[in-house]
Amino acid sequence: MKKIVFVLLLVIGQVSYGQITSQPISDFTFSNAENVLLLDVRTPQEYKDGHINGAINIDWFSKDFNEKVKNIDKNITIYVYCKKGGRSLKSQERLASLGFTKVINLEGGFDDWQNDQR
């Protein structure tokens, strides 16, 4: 019985969070599609020093992170990245808890993406 309850809770948790996944940033190709957002959660200075074309910057460390993301459509696909992957993973979890349904963490972050461009 305990196993059934555990599995049920696990399924409910996955359904409530929608599609929350990860993929290596090296496999990522961005298109400025209407229903896709590329979110850079690094600091404004990191973003200024270089970013993926088409990305918008909302600093994970910003006190008003939740406020800044609240106007984003919760049903679009959001690809999120940072420098290496730590902040983007935390941002992904936060976005899911705020009701975003399709959030993809780009593993390896900007550093890996930049290395792949060379």
Q: How far is it, in rounded angstroms, from Cα 1 to Cα 49?
A: 55
Q: What's the whole-number mean pLDDT along residues 12-32?
A: 74
Ordered by where they begin, the domains of the chain are 18-117 (3.40.250.10)
Which of the residue ranges 23-37, 50-64, 100-114 would you say has the lowest mean pLDDT?
Answer: 23-37
Options 82, 96, 104, 106, the catalytic residue = 82
pLDDT, tens digit, 9 for 90 and up, residues 38-89: 999 999 999 999 999 999 999 999 999 999 999 999 999 999 999 999 999 9
- Predicted TM-score (pTM) of the model is 0.82
Is position 82 annotated as part of the catalytic site? yes
pLDDT at 18: 66
Closest C-alpha to 71, from 37, 33, 109: 37
